[in-house]
Amino acid sequence: MHLSRTVFAFWAAGLTGHIVLLVVLLTRHRARTFPVFTTLIAANILNSIALYEIALRGSAHTYFIAYFAFASLDLVLQLAVTYELARHVFCPTGTWAPDIRKGFLLLVLTSLAIAFVLACLPSPPEKTILRTLLDRGNLFSSALQCELFVGMIAFSSTANLPWNTHVARIAQGLGFYSLVGLITEAGHNILAGTSIAYQNVTYLRMSTYLLCAGYWIVMLWLPAPAPQELPEEAQRQLFTLQRRVEYDLRKLRALKR
Amino acid sequence: MTIRNLDFFGFLFIFLASILGIGTYYYLRNRRRQLYPYGNWDELLKRLAPLDHQNLERIAADPTALAAQDNHWVETMSPEDIWRLLGGMRGIEVMEKNCSVLVDLVFYVQQWYPEALLIAEQLRLNAREVEWHIGRLKATAKSGRPPAAAAEYLQQAVAIYFQMTREVLALYQQGNLPGLADLQRAL
């Protein structure tokens, strides 16, 4: 399979970006905090190398099968990253905030349904089943990610849960990529796979991803703002207040019944 | 372009507009809070509506916590008295709004001092629950049920609300957190 110069340039830039990002994640000790995100980046490196090898030595069909397998893995890992970020925001103490749990579950189910409907709607021109499935799958993934990120922003805002700096940066990158991805995948779903427009739309998606990778490299390299220390007296006060409110609430809950 | 693709673009347009609209609204709301890590006090305090704290203190006085000779007036306080001292429906509405401001105040502590995260998160949940109880009382009162039906429940909710306002004030005082004087005036 022949690779054009543009495709090769995108491939090289993507691989370099991912390697640099992985080095940043490991050397700045972010991998411990974001193990799934680190796995996603490592999987992308493996993906780039494997697909390049197959593109050079394998047939177009083998390449497409491998591409489909990696795209599926990417979808699963991206959803896992979203869950990882949600855990950072909504489980600050290790357990899910009870005022969020039900709402979040509802958000996931609604998002799945809307993304599914959106992905089923376009009627693509003549394409192979695998290609159609891939384009629809990508559209589904982008729509789902967009919905989940917006839902997470809304929930954290109404429940007053703060976003840690690095969590927010990863989410911003993924959210922006999903939003652009939604538009490009809409294009992919209605354009013929061999057209120039289809290719340009792919380049747009790749450029956006490179932009996001650059953003992550810089943001994850920079340290998060140093936390302040709460005076001991205030900490005791906070503890007493919580105990007291909890005790009073128990009485109120009993009255409610 | 087929009819189905036209439908798709219509749906996509609505989807994008909703996502962008909701996302921008909440993102700006979050960002504004981050831009004022010490709280945009003017705005926060504007949200706090005044209540007669002497009356609240009377309702909140826990009979079991008072000395035997002092608790006569509490025991005889009728549901109508509680309702009147609170200021009726307006009082409940004000308490509900102020409660959400208290949740915000806890949020600031949580944001400034991550090491107090565990306890602040517990407190945030408690404050949310108080907010919920008060909301429930409001719904009961709006449904036209007589205040007597929920008098004890109302009294307890007022007691917790009152305690929380006092304790949050004390917390801000102890931690020497900014905006204390304004907060004292507002609460």
Q: What is the mean pLDDT of residues A21-49?
A: 94
* B184 to B157, B161, B165, B168, B174: CA distances (angstroms): 21, 15, 10, 10, 13
Tally the residues of chain A: 257
Separation CA B41–CA B179 (nearest Å):
7
Cβ-Cβ contacts under 8 Å, B106 against chain A: 160
Q: What is the mean pLDDT of residues A168-172?
A: 88
Nearest-CA distance A87 → chain B (Å): 14
Burial class (CB in 10 A: 0-12, 13-18, 19+), A81: buried
Place of tokens 């494997």: A50
- Whether A225 and chain B come into contact, CB under 8 Å, resolves to no
Element at B86 (helix H, strand E): helix B79-86
Proportion of chain B in helix, strand, coil states, percent, rounded to 5: 80, 0, 20
Cβ-Cβ contacts under 8 Å, A98 against chain B: 125
> What is the DSSP code string of B2-39?
-HHHHHHHHHHHHHHHHHHHHHHHHHHHHHHHHH-TT-
Q: Looking at residue A218, what is its pLDDT?
A: 94
Centroid of chain to Cα A61: 28
Q: Looking at residue B68, what is its pLDDT?
A: 43
What is the tens place of the pLDDT at every residue in B36-84? 544 454 565 566 666 777 777 777 765 543 444 444 544 556 777 777 7
What is the tens place of the pLDDT at every residue in B100-122? 777 776 666 666 666 666 666 76
Q: Tell me if A142 sits within 8 A of A187, measured CB to CB.
A: no
Place of tokens 């609604």: A110
ipTM of the prediction: 0.73
Of all residues in chain B, the one with the smallest CA distance to A93 is B118
Centroid of chain to Cα B120: 15
Cβ-Cβ contacts under 8 Å, B113 against chain A: 227-230
pLDDT above 70: percentage of residues in chain B? 51
Confidence of residue A96 (pLDDT cuts 50, 70, 90): confident
CB proximity list for B37: less than 8 A, separation 6 or greater: B108, B111, B112
Proportion of chain A in helix, strand, coil states, percent, rounded to 5: 80, 0, 20
Separation CA A132–CA A121 (nearest Å):
12
Cβ-Cβ contacts under 8 Å, A190 against chain B: 1, 5, 8
Cβ-Cβ contacts under 8 Å, A234 against chain B: 116, 171, 174-177
- Whether A125 and chain B come into contact, CB under 8 Å, resolves to no
pLDDT above 90: percentage of residues in chain A? 31
Cβ-Cβ contacts under 8 Å, A237 against chain B: 167, 170-171, 174-175
* A96 to A100, A161, B122, B140: CA distances (angstroms): 7, 12, 12, 30
- Whether A224 and chain B come into contact, CB under 8 Å, resolves to no
pLDDT at A15 > cutoff 50: yes
Q: B-contacting residues of A 128-187, CB under 8 Å?
A: 143, 146-147, 149-150, 153-154, 156-157, 159-163, 175, 179, 182-183, 186
A160-199 residues labelled b (16+ CB within 10 A) or e (exposed) = bbbbbebbbbbbbbbbbbbbbbbbbbbbbbbbebeeeebe
Of all residues in chain A, the one with the smallest CA distance to B32 is A157
Q: B-contacting residues of A 187-206, CB under 8 Å?
A: 189-190
Q: Which residue has the higher pLDDT, B69 or A197?
A: A197
Pairwise CB contact (< 8 Å): A245 & B130: yes
The mean pLDDT value of chain A amounts to: 83
- Give the domains, in start order, of chain A with CATH numbers: 5-224 (1.20.1070)
A-B contacts at Cβ under 8 angstroms:
157
Of all residues in chain A, the one with the smallest CA distance to B7 is A121
pTM (whole model) above 0.80 = no
Nearest-CA distance A13 → chain B (Å): 30
